[in-house]
Amino acid sequence: MTLLGSNTTPAQLREMTIPQLEDLAAEIRTAIIDQVSRTGGHLAPNLGVVELTIAMHRVFDFGHDRLLFDVGHQCYPHKLLTGRLDQMANLRTRKGMSGFPEPTESHYDQFRVGHAGTAISTAVGMARGDQINNQSYNPESNPDGRRTVALIGDASIVNGVAMEGLNHAGMLKRQMLIVLNDNGMSISKPQGAMAQYFDRVRVSHTYSDFKKGAREILKSVPGGSLLREAYHRMGEMTKAAINEDSWFEKFGLLTVGPIDGHDLPTLIEFLAEARDLDRPMILHVKTIKGKGLDIAEQDATRFHSPKAFTVERDETLGCKIQMPSSGRSFTSALSDAITDVMDRDEKAVAATAAMADGTGITQPLEKYPDRTFDAGICESHAMDMLAGMAKTGLRPFLAVYSTFLQRAFDQAFQEVALQGLGVRLCLDRAGLVGGDGAVHHGFCDVAILRTLPDAVLLAVIDELSLVQCLEFMRTWDSSLSSVRYPRDSVSKIFGDAPAYELGKARLLTQAHADLDANRPDVAVLSFGTPAVNAHAAIESLGSEYNIAHYDARFAKPVDSQLIRDLLSRNIPILTLEDHTIIGGFGTSVLECAQEFKLDASRVVRHGIPDQWIHQDSRNDQLVEVGLDAIGIARMIRHAADPESNEPFAPARTSASQSSASEIKAVQSTEPTS
């Protein structure tokens, strides 16, 4: 009998036997593997939390209680248990379910969350809010009140915000459970002293052989009087599993475990006791990332978030995975380029924040382990560490997703830009990122970094320009610099790239080298990879307009001489960027025009509009915002002739409405690095 259906609810779990729950776990794993193999998505993290998620929903009522996810990519089993199986077929698209918690999908989801370290703090906030509203669980005065659970894992416990949350959680005088899903992994192998501590705990303990000295432990714990009271409420099994060496006890948090995160009866028993405890506690659960799929267990990094794949089984060769090639990614190009920089410059160092594979730092990490660092899920620390290195005369590069740069802005401001230090930011996944959706779009890096005096902000259009850009950044020691590039394949349509010169754009249509001899109807200034679709748009327009096309290269400083040359000749400018139009490259062009008292009304900005763009393929998202070839052609017409009937805003909302014959550009893809 099939147990998993589109109408599956957590209430049904409470009627199932343990063998039925184990069968349900197998069905959930099969559903996740089948779907991710077709569409891509987060595989290993979700396979590892199936039993844990079932047990939590069996014990708690999260239609009433609060469940806060950390990192968010461990939510697929939760979604399948809350009636969303019918949305699974369109995973990570606008028609289906998001790959992260999404409150608009279900009242079981509290926050949209895709950044690490936040669950404990938001859980503390909800726990306090329910307390103030007289809605929180209290075994005596309100036994039907709301309970709060935070699920944190994939090494995000080492994040600074998580530490701050722990510090405050220990002050709560009510129920709050933090479930630490300890799978020994982050995106890749976790780094740092905390990771080593958890390794020792996993090796030295199992739930069945804990020491019995809980009473003595509680005497020395901050807030121990409260915890001693809680101790008397516990069952003997939980008392026996109290971890007397737990680091979390220093925060005033009773710590139990580690226990086996795939043993349903044990999980249910421990969670049932934790449910009724009216004090904050940690339940340390040991799981296997990728559980149930051998290839994912053996290579959890590769199968953390794979693109679509097929499994081929051979009696001689064993299991073999085939993933379709989607071209060379910018991440791969960065990997080779930064390794080349480190080959040539012994002062060059590189770092990442738990994303060595995803940002292309694996190669330099292996080749130059003494000059390459993985800081763990600690972007703020990584930025400050590299500021310290820059202060000693080194030339540091930080490879980080654009969306995660936001977490280190204060350090970019205080310890890098304010000090005039040459820290170099390589911003992967800039712009629209496809299936990960709004939680991961890199849409505001230019806007936030452009506020920093002397910052130098660059973008590249292909691999050759990336190589030249990194060489420019290598020798730029006097201030913060950054380069942005998307989660996409590199184009080869533009040919060799000249060296970067500070604040100078690159002319892509050589016929316009003399603006007086060949005056264009409109000048397109592309900041980064929108140049590829702009090139296709210009070709599709043929002789309808005379169009000059520039690779802008710099958002700060912009090419002020070019802008003056164009506007003083009354040549309209269309700016293009895979970034919000608020505070981005186009805004810098407007500001330049105003500074020189030129007619800024001839500047038309085009980029990501001021709205949330949700999960879908990157191609469909570009269509949605009008940054595909057809949308850019429409904007070129509007810029050249503002009185035309061409709509200013993008008219289409789905790539399916675009005729393939209209687009001459090489279509973008979504490589997973």
Catalytic residues: 289, 379, 407
* Sequence-separated contacts (24+) of 199-203 with Cβ below 8 Å: 201/243, 201/245, 201/258, 201/284, 202/258, 202/286
Question: Please, where are the H alpha helices in 138-192?
Answer: 160-169
In this structure, are residues 63 and 107 in contact, taking their beta carbons and an 8 Å threshold? yes
Sheet of 424-428: strand order equals 372-374, 348-352, 395-401, 424-428, 481-484, 456-459, 554-556
Q: Which residues contact 406 (CB under 8 A, 6 or more apart)?
A: 444, 445, 448
Q: Rounded to whole angstroms, how far apart are CA atoms 235 and 107?
A: 32
Q: Rounded to whole angstroms, how far apart are CA atoms 398 and 388?
A: 13
Q: Is 668 helix (H, G, I), strand (E, B) or coil?
A: coil
Task: Count CA atoms within 13 Å of residue 597 on its CB side.
Answer: 0
* Sequence-separated contacts (24+) of 30-34 with Cβ below 8 Å: 31/4, 31/80, 31/85, 31/88, 32/76, 32/77, 32/80, 33/292, 33/293
Identify any residues that bridge with 351 across adjacent strands, giving them in sequence order.
373, 398
Q: Rounded to whole angstroms, how far apart are CA atoms 120 and 141?
A: 25
Q: Rounded to whole angstroms, how far apart are CA atoms 582 and 607?
A: 9
Q: Locate tokens 């979504």: which residue?
A: 670
Strand 603-608 and strand 573-580: the pairing is: parallel
Q: Rounded to whole angstroms, how far apart are CA atoms 83 and 9?
A: 6
CB count within 10 Å of CB 316 equals: 4
Of 593, 537, 597, give the one whose Cα is nearest residue 566.
593
CA 8 → CA 57, 85, 542, 621, distances in Å? 12, 8, 56, 31
Task: Name the burial class of residue 51, with classes exposed (0-12), middle (13-18) and buried (19+) by CB atoms within 10 angstroms of its CB.
Answer: buried
CB count within 10 Å of CB 644 equals: 11
In this structure, are residues 113 and 70 in contact, taking their beta carbons and an 8 Å threshold? yes
Q: Which residues contact 487 (CB under 8 A, 6 or more apart)?
A: 329, 330, 331, 428, 429, 433, 434, 618, 670, 671
Token pair in block for residue 534:
């702009």
Q: Rounded to whole angstroms, how far apart are CA atoms 191 and 1?
A: 44
Q: Rounded to whole angstroms, how far apart are CA atoms 305 and 289?
A: 12
Beta strand residue intervals within 452-546, DSSP E: 456-459, 481-484, 506-507, 522-527
Q: Rounded to whole angstroms, how far apart are CA atoms 370 and 363?
A: 13
- Dihedral-angle region of residue 557 (phi above 0 means left; psi in -120 to 50 means alpha; beta otherwise): beta
Q: Provide the residue type at 77 as one letter.
A: P
Identify any residues that bridge with 425 across adjacent strands, giving them in sequence order.
398, 482
Beta strand residue intervals within 532-624, DSSP E: 547-551, 554-556, 573-580, 603-608
In this structure, are residues 426 and 398 in contact, taking their beta carbons and an 8 Å threshold? yes
Report the b/e string of 324-357 with b at 16+ CB within 10 A: eeeeebbbbbbbbbbbebbeeeeebbbbbbbbbb
